[in-house]
Structure 1
Amino acid sequence: MVRQIRLNAFFMNCVVHQSPGLWRHPRDRTQDYTDISYWVDLARTLERGRFDALFLADVLGVYDVYCGGAEAALRGAVQVPVNDPVLLVPVLAYATRHLGFGVTSILSYDQPYAFARRMSTLDHLTKGRVGWNVVTGYLDSAARAAGRSRQDGHDLRYEIADDYMEAVYKLWEGSWEDGAVIRDREAGVFADPARVHRIRHEGRHFQLDGYHLSEPSPQRTPVLFQAGSSPRGRAFAARHAECVFIAGNSTAEIRRLVGEIRERAAAAGRDPQAITVFLSAVCVPGRTRGEAQDKLADYRRYGSVEGSLVLQSGWQGVDFAAAPLDTPIAALGRGSVEAHDRSDRPPDRRTIRELGEAATLGGGAPLLTGSAADVADEMQRWVEEADIDGFNLTSVVAPESYVDFVDIVVPELQRRGVHKQDYRAGTLREKLGGEARLPPSHPGARHRAG
């Protein structure tokens, strides 16, 4: 059986997501990010291309590690200004019929009780097409803005996240039984109180005592996405995630990481093949190989090395402005940064400049370029060699990157039988190949009432 390739659009409610400087390109429309018609056009394009979901990244705080301040981020619109992704979803769901929506929400600054209702509301309004990207945060500037001196330590954030997940699972799965809502007009009974349960959670980091405020939504628990890259993050993903985002430029290394996640999931009693793995990638296709190369060269003229290093500094906690651009990265004491560097130079000789240049398009994700056949070949190679299930495609020029992919690459993928001709019926979880709700082997399912 031919393996189907899953596709998400990896985007953000801002001007610059992961291609700093490209907002200056004459065909780029990201400056329209405050215009809802811009988003509706994008969602309809993705649905026309049978994308599984529009995955909306988010960040709290500003990138202020580079040069010790936010000036470079503000000057280059590097993920600031950035608007709330959640508020886009109901409108885009109304404008589409099948496209899913993955929403990033940073649990470190949001209480489980209110958050659980927000996601249930979205699941109702989208008819079960919503997913949650579980994020703990990574910027100290966000912690300071929330009234803390700094964010919690890395592993502690995941410990807190485990407790958070237990709390929201209990609300989504355990408060209302499936038959609790009766809607009996004649008897005047909307819900059977005996089948609606008070949730008590006494965790190390979160406590709650109350009823979930929303009746059961189509999925109850939204599809769970996660993108942790550290060993602790991968352990969290193996326990909770249904879809995992992974980054890197080596098929062998990605295959190793995918294998580790699946092994950890199996050890936790889950079906390892039920985890869908998406690789971050950026695509610049053309009708011909030459057209693609011309387009790529045009795009590169607008890339901002400074903006790229602003992102890298925030992601890695290293001020890449602290040394001249031609300084080897190893001299900063961090070694190489494989996940964000496509340079062929030995790790101990890669420079800050090379890191910045490599990451101007799509944050340094693998570049898929060439004709439709070239891109399709490369995508199939990644799927076969790295054991991934699909791609999280970030844009270079928006919405052009997605329009080109839909018009040029999707027909070739469909011709090869590796991309769907149409959507499955049902919720986002069903469209991804599962049941409407969490499978029994998932830890959240054990809290299911009734």
Structure 2
Amino acid sequence: MPKQIILNAFEMTSAMHNSHGLWKHRKSKRHRQYKDIHYWIELARLLEKGKFDAVFFAEVLGIYDTYRQSQEPSIKDGLQVPANDASYIVPAMASVTEHLSFAITVSTTYEQPFGNARRFSTLDHLTNGRIGWNVVTSYLPNAARNYGLTDMIKHDQRYNIADEFLDVSYKLWESSWEDGAVVEDVENKTLVEPSKVHEINHEGEFFNVTGPHLSEPSVQRTPVIYQAGTSEKGREFAAKHAECVFVGGPTAEKIRYYAEDIKQRARAHGRNPDHIKIFSFLNVVVAKTSEEAEKKFKEYADLWSEDAAKAQFAGASGYDLEEYEKLNAELPFDFKKTEHAHYKAATVDRDAQNKPNIGEVLGRFTSIDRETYIVGNPAEVADGIQYQFEASGVDGFNLNHLVTPADLEDFIDLVIPELQARGLYKKEYKQGTLRKKLFDQGSLLPEDHPGYLYKKPERHLLKK
């Protein structure tokens, strides 16, 4: 059987996600219904109908306020605000599905590992092993201020914190409770065998956690670990910890470069690179005919919010585009490193030999960037997806959708059958947990993963 596409719906429990200004579209429902549990229940049913592997929930902890040094452009167009907490939505979506999995984004910079470990154990229990954790370090200055800091913690230091956060989490999930700790021994009046539940006594640079973990082991123990990052530090972190890595890049060749780099780094950590799945982003506008698709794309483009697009790029990259707007458009755009995320710069720096000028970069925000979209009838869209899939070497995609749920409905009705006919997409789900479906192995971490080191109770005091 040929390699098949793994597909996630890229989502956020917010009024709008990455569809800047499209709340104005007549078919847009999300900005009115994202607060309604029935909206998410119906979305779950729709995605399972389309055999989606997972819904991937993005998250922010603050307002994008780098562009013009103001929150107004973001707030005005609902740029990922208002937003709710996805972890409360997942149990409802899981209750009406059997196979659809869920990846929740949680920041290691502003959370504590003890509480976060219980959150994911709970979700893994309630979904019967259909949970993943997208590990992020957070990049918005407003988020830092919301959590009591004057300035953001430096980019590389955030990854140092994340590394220890993961070590604490593995200790809680893998070593705090032994298998068979819950004995239900009525005769000896023992529900849980105390000798099989252990403190972890972690004392580190950033966290001190005694334990034991409050939750008994879930089906997967450790949720499937997702991570996105193209910086040097981000790729190294992904190579050590991640099982699913989201790689951004302007071309299939650049995505393949990042993917191969991460897998090479994984080998250096003693990991099997086949235990890492690589994902990139997928942007599609589809209709029954090419003409209808182009008409739909133009309709979307006419509603696009340039300010919201610039606000998102500025907040993620650290480049206040207002400062560039004041400069000569012919000057080269300065891709200096910032303490924000680094992946956004990669999306516009498309040619290593010929750096874009300021005018070219700014021009990519005035409307939907046509170069990043596959637009056409079902066969044309499937051709584009197949090319990206094969040329980049990824294992799957995070599917964006501009008008929700209409775009997802069109994708499921029009594109999924075409991909299935080509053998590129499953017709039936595999059985089992998220990890088992992804890797055709057991539900627990493989032996080559660093979290496996903490599996034995006698090793719960292992240092990094």
TM-score (normalizing by structure 1): 0.95
The 2-side partners of 1:365 and 1:100 are apart by 30
Q: Which residue of 2 aligns with 1:191?
A: 192
- Deviations for 1:271-304, whole angstroms, at most 9, x for unmatched residues? 1011111111211111122221111111111111
- Deviations for 1:147-190, whole angstroms, at most 9, x for unmatched residues? 11111100000011000000000000000111111122343221
Q: Which residue of 2 aligns with 1:348?
A: 356
- 1:312–1:394 CA distance, 2 compared to 1 (3 A): same
Q: Which residue of 2 aligns with 1:410?
A: 416
Which segments of 5 or more consecutive residues in structure 2 lack a partner in the other structure?
337-343, 458-464
Q: Does 1:305 align with 2:306?
A: yes
Mapped contact 2:374–2:384 kept (Cα < 8 A): yes
The 2-side partners of 1:327 and 1:119 are apart by 50
Mapped contact 1:325–1:353 kept (Cα < 8 A): no
- 1:338–1:241 CA distance, 2 compared to 1 (3 A): closer
Per the TM alignment, residue 326 of structure 1 is displaced from its structure 2 partner at its CA by 8.6
Q: Which residue of 1 aligns with 2:10?
A: 10
- Deviations for 1:41-63, whole angstroms, at most 9, x for unmatched residues? 11111111111100000000111
Which segments of 5 or more consecutive residues in structure 1 lack a partner in the other structure?
none
Q: Which residue of 2 aligns with 1:444?
A: 451
Per the TM alignment, residue 230 of structure 1 is displaced from its structure 2 partner at its CA by 0.5
- 1:78–1:342 CA distance, 2 compared to 1 (3 A): farther
Matches within 5 A, 1:15-414: 15-31=15-31, 32-324=33-325, 327-328=328-329, 333-334=334-335, 337-340=345-348, 347-351=355-359, 352-357=361-366, 360=368, 366-414=372-420
Q: Which runs of 4+ in 1 moved over 6 A?
A: none
Mapped contact 1:340–1:365 kept (Cα < 8 A): no
- Deviations for 1:200-221, whole angstroms, at most 9, x for unmatched residues? 1111111111210000100000
Per the TM alignment, residue 323 of structure 1 is displaced from its structure 2 partner at its CA by 4.1
Mapped contact 1:9–1:392 kept (Cα < 8 A): yes
The 2-side partners of 1:246 and 1:159 are apart by 20
The 2-side partners of 1:203 and 1:326 are apart by 47
Mapped contact 1:280–1:365 kept (Cα < 8 A): no
Moved more, 431-440 or 161-170: 431-440
Q: Which residue of 1 aligns with 2:460?
A: none
TM-score (normalizing by structure 2): 0.92
Per the TM alignment, residue 350 of structure 1 is displaced from its structure 2 partner at its CA by 4.8
- C-alpha RMSD of matched pairs (Å): 2.1
Mapped contact 1:249–1:365 kept (Cα < 8 A): no
Mapped contact 1:280–1:366 kept (Cα < 8 A): no
Aligned partner letter, 1:436: S
Aligned partner letter, 1:3: K
Moved more, 217-226 or 198-207: 198-207
The 2-side partners of 1:68 and 1:93 are apart by 40
**3-state SS, counterpart of residue 17 of structure 1:** coil
The aligned length equals 447
The 1-side partners of 2:332 and 2:307 are apart by 19
The 2-side partners of 1:108 and 1:264 are apart by 24
The 2-side partners of 1:347 and 1:40 are apart by 45
